[in-house]
Each structure stands twice: as C-alpha cells, then as structure tokens.
Structure 1
C-alpha cells in the first residue's frame, strides 16, 4: 500500500517522537537537573518579565529573581532545623520509655493473639545513647565516612545542586531567544494551531501554579493554627513546612504528618498527641481534598484523583524525584492535547460518517 505524503510525514513525526522518548529515558540521570531547571525557569520567567518591563536590565532581573527563589528554598529547608533541635533531645529521652511501655502494655495485649513481642530495653537505650547523644564532631565524622563510602552518589548530588542554579540562570537570561528559535522551527502553515495550543497550555499551567500557591498558603495557615490550638510547641515550623511541602503531592503531606506525629508523641508522651495530629491532619485533608484542590487546582487542570496518582507513579518511575515534581504540569499539557485531539476527531468525517 502506497502512503500519501501526509501519512509519511505523520509517521516520520511519530518516529522522531519515539526516538526522543527513548533518548530521554536513556539519559534520564543526566537530563534530570536540566528538566528541573526548565520547570523552575518557566515558573520564574513571569517575575523576570515584570522586572524587565520596569527597565531593570535582564541580567540583573534574572539574578534578583533567582537569588530570591534560592532564599525562599533555604528558608523552607531551615524550617526543619528547629524541629530537629527540639525533637532529638526528646527522642533520646522518650524512646527507652516508650519501649518499656510497649513491653508493659502492648506485649500482653498482643500475646492474646499469639504474637510474642519483647523489646530489649537496655539494648535500645544503649543504641539511642550511642547515635542520638553524639556531638557535632561525631556527626561530622559519620557524614564524612558516609561520603567516602558513597562518593559517587555524593558527587552527583553536589554536582546537580551546583548545576541547577547555573542552568536556571542561563535559561532565564536567554528565554526570549530560546522561544524565538523554537518558534522559527514551526512551519508557517502550522503556526496558528501550534500557537493556540501553546497559549492554552501556558494559560492552564499559569492557573495551576497560581492555584497550587494558594492551596499551599491556605494549608500552611490551617496546619499552623490547628497544631497551635492543640498545644504543640513546634506548631509554626511543622504547619508551615507541611503546607509548603504539599507542592510535592502525597510525599510532602506524608513527611509533614510524620514530623507532626513524632512531635506529638515526644511532647505529650500520651495518646493525646496522636489523636490531635489525626484530627488536625484529617480535617486538613478534608479541606484540601473537597474544597481547596478541587476549586483552586483540580478544576483548572481537569485531572481526576486516579489520573493524578497514575501520573505521579509514571513520572516518578521515569525521572525519579524530578518526575514527581513535573508530573502534574506535564499531565495538564496532556489534558490540553487530549481535548484538542478529541474535538478534532468529533468534528472529522471519520466520526460523523
């Protein structure tokens, strides 16, 4: 069967797309920082454009925006410091006590079901004193030893951390030229539909980012106030960290929940801490799942919860942690492509007969 020119062109584009996907999969360890840099540059680019419209030189605008973004990320990371400095001493004191209580109360209850549990409290106490009572020099020595053992992994991590801001700077600085070069590659007869598609994608991604920021801010306030009303000493850092970390779906919430449970168990040393965390985080999930995310994010990108989970697993498998970050934005682009393809199919003679 002889193929028409349009069919050959379509097959050629499909082949190029498959080759591109194969190259991305093979080079994913190398491409990960560049993909992350592209996502960050896209998110920061509107701020750079605002500054340049106010006659700020582009290089200076890029530098100011990137320094501001780095400071925000460092501030978020430093939220963990007061949590660790407060919890580690309590953890050192409470773990042997909790182990003894488990032997006293939990073991007899489990024995009724044929489960034999007996914790070696002296060994647990010795382990805690050895690893949680270390001073700064001991921790530093352990870190350096681990670095020597996993030198390749450490080198890769440090290299990516250094490379990421450099790539973001150059992408932001050359953004107009990059867009112009990419646009020049689009054939003139395709520029109108491609431009409409990209405009719709840009609008959807902008709505997604704005909606996600509003969800993060609202949850940060909710968790901070809820934990403070429950009497948590670390309500502010845990609440703010949990709210901001929900940008990483499921993983961020899980980490915040773990920190809150640890704080509740260690501070109150009773079931009250666990129940308080369950109530606050349960209400937070209800507010997020039934009000904030559907209103501010879900309705904007048109993804069902099942598709969100699939996208996170698929992109996480392909690109690791970076894949989790870009899963929902790229899925939003897929939604736009699917809508346009579906509308074209419904309007085509193939469907209408």
Structure 2
C-alpha cells in the first residue's frame, strides 16, 4: 500500500511537470473544458426532452457562441472609449492631486512629498504617452513573426472546435474514466468527484453569475449617478469580487475618488457612490449568495488570493483562469483526508485501541 502511494505521488509530480512544460498550448483546452462543463447540463436536459445528443450539443454551442459574441460586441466598444477617456484625463487628475491632496498630506504629516510626486507624475504621464507607441510596436513585432501570429490565431480557433467535441463526448468521457478506476477505489473516487462537481457548479455557474450581476449593478448605478468611467469601474469591481470584499473595496475607493474629483467635493456624489455599492452588497448577501452559492465553495479569502497567485506563477494566464476551480477541488480532497486522519490511530491511538478492544 505504501509503495502504491509513492508511485501515485511520483506520477502526480511527473504530470504536474508535464503540464508546466506544455503551458503555452493549454489555454484553449482549459477554456474549452470550462465551456463544455458549463454547457453539459443544458445539453443533458435537451436530451431528456427527446433531442439527439448531436442536436442538443449544436443548440447549446450556438447559444454559447451568441452570448459571447453579443457580449463582446456590446461591451468592448464602450470600454474602449472609457479607457481612452481615462488616459486623456490622467494628467488633469495628477495635477489636481498635486495641487490639492499633496499639500494637505504635507500639512498633516510634515513630510515633503512634492519632489517624489513630481517624479512619479512625470513617469506615469510619459508611460501613458508611450502606451500607443508600445502597442503599435508590439503588434508590428507579432505581425512580423508569422509563426507567433499563426499560433495565436490557431489557439483561438481551437476553442470552439474543442468545445464542441468535448460537449459531444462529455458523458462518454466521464463514463470511461469511471470504468478505468480501480474497483476498490471507485466508490470513494465517485463520491469525491460528486462533491467536487457540487463545488465546481457553485463556483463556475454560481460565482461567475454573482460577479456578472454585481458588475452590472455597479456599472448601471455609477452610470446613472453620472460618475465618469462608471461602466469600466463597475465591471472591474464585479470581476474583482471573485475575491471576497475586494470588489467593493476597490470599486468604492476608485469611484469615490473619481466622483469627488468630478463634482468638486460635493458630498451627495460620495453618498450616491456609497449607496450604489451598498445596494450591490445587499443584493449579494440577501439574494445572490444564498440562491447561487450557499456554503458549497468554502474557500477562505486568503486561500483565494494564494490560489490565484500560485496559478499565475505556475501556468501564467491559464493558471489564473483555473486556479480557483482547482483550489476548490483540492479543498474537497483535503477535507476527506482530514476526516480520514481524525479517524486514524495517528491522531488518537488510545481511542482506536479502545474501539478495537470493545466487543
């Protein structure tokens, strides 16, 4: 048994090394797996209504494609305009901070910040001015490198193809994996897989919907309030809410500063910003979290931050995408191992001995 454990550990280490080695080609497959996982329950429901698997998958695939394409067509142009406006407004914002905020901080603390802020301001403005040149240079370099351009286009083109075939064969793949498990391990692995499926369902179908709803609430609220860059700040705050409380902290800080600068310090704008984010938190705690998530994920905020950073370090952007689902599954396995440990003689040898001696 111990030898089998060592073999499993070595195989797991080799598998991790292999995945890290092929990281550049993993992104389309990971994205396709997530899309297929999200679409499989809907395809199963269509099958239950009498449709064939291929027709069901085709309808789900068409729905996913329409949702993604329409979202990109609607959101990206507006975000592009607001990012451009933010870049244009940056020098004025920095000048206001230098003339208003820095003197107040100096009067309260006695620290001379003018020299350091001047250097920081010049650096930021120069970098923003060079952003367009850098982007154009980068695009030119990518275009010159035909192999890199072909690889990038190929990776993007693979996503719909791989997603369709994974959706088509998802149930068969799951059945084959289950049939390949050692018979002694199969009940435990199936039970753990069911718990992982609950956690992943809560995260992928629940947390993503929560993030989207919060982003929409924040964006609409800030836009109606008249805060500049309201759509950009709202959507970014919704995305940041993947880490508990980070979205509301970042959103209310940034939008509060923008509203204060925009209105000249009028208190009603700041109260409006607080009301928008307060309403979002109320909806999240009363409606979204109980209905969509419950207590299924169980990841501590520190664990969330560590998982995102570790995933990015190991697998780059792909690791960031899959960090939290993998961390949620790891937590399921760790809880199982913890229960095994609490019932073992290593944890309480006297209690185990007394249980074995009792008739």
> How does the TM-score come out when normalised to structure 2?
0.73
Question: Is residue 20 of structure 1 aligned with residue 18 of structure 2?
Answer: no
Matches within 5 A, 1:54-65: 54-65=49-60
The Cα shift of 1:88 comes to 3.1
CA contact (8 A) 2:239 2:247 kept: yes
- After superposition, the Cα gap between the structure-2 partners of 1:48 and 1:116, relative to the gap in structure 1 and judged at 3 Å, is same
Root-mean-square deviation (CA, aligned residues, Å) is: 4.4
My pick for the range that moved more, 185-194 or 144-153, is: 144-153
CA contact (8 A) 1:87 1:263 kept: no
The Cα shift of 1:221 comes to 4.7
The Cα shift of 1:46 comes to 0.8
Which among 276, 296, 305 is matched to residue 309 of structure 1? 305
Question: Is residue 344 of structure 1 aligned with residue 329 of structure 2?
Answer: no
**Map of 2:175 onto structure 1:** 180
The Cα shift of 1:325 comes to 2.2
The Cα shift of 1:269 comes to 6.6
Matches within 5 A, 1:186-335: 186-232=181-227, 235=230, 237-238=231-232, 241-242=235-236, 245-246=239-240, 249=243, 253=247, 257=251, 261=255, 264=258, 268=262, 270-271=264-265, 275=270, 279=274, 283=278, 287=282, 295=290, 296-297=292-293, 299-335=295-331
Gaps of 5+ in 1: 1-5
- After superposition, the Cα gap between the structure-2 partners of 1:233 and 1:71, relative to the gap in structure 1 and judged at 3 Å, is farther
My pick for the range that moved more, 320-329 or 239-248, is: 239-248
- After superposition, the Cα gap between the structure-2 partners of 1:139 and 1:53, relative to the gap in structure 1 and judged at 3 Å, is farther
Show CA shifts across 1:33-52 (max 9, x none). Answer: 22222222112211111122
**Map of 1:74 onto structure 2:** 69
- After superposition, the Cα gap between the structure-2 partners of 1:276 and 1:176, relative to the gap in structure 1 and judged at 3 Å, is same
- After superposition, the Cα gap between the structure-2 partners of 1:164 and 1:214, relative to the gap in structure 1 and judged at 3 Å, is closer
**Map of 2:40 onto structure 1:** 45
Please give the alpha-carbon distance, in whole angstroms, between the structure 2 residues aligned to 1:269 and 1:10: 65
Please give the alpha-carbon distance, in whole angstroms, between the structure 1 residues aligned to 2:335 and 2:151: 40
* RCO higher in structure (CA 8 A, sep ≥6): 1
CA contact (8 A) 2:219 2:233 kept: yes
Please give the alpha-carbon distance, in whole angstroms, between the structure 2 residues aligned to 1:143 and 1:18: 36
Gaps of 5+ in 2: 354-359
Q: What is the count of residue pairs matched by the alignment?
A: 339
My pick for the range that moved more, 29-38 or 14-23, is: 29-38
> How does the TM-score come out when normalised to structure 1?
0.75
Please give the alpha-carbon distance, in whole angstroms, between the structure 1 residues aligned to 2:332 and 2:256: 42
- After superposition, the Cα gap between the structure-2 partners of 1:159 and 1:269, relative to the gap in structure 1 and judged at 3 Å, is farther
Show CA shifts across 1:139-190 (max 9, x none). Answer: 9976752533666654443222111121111111111221222122112232
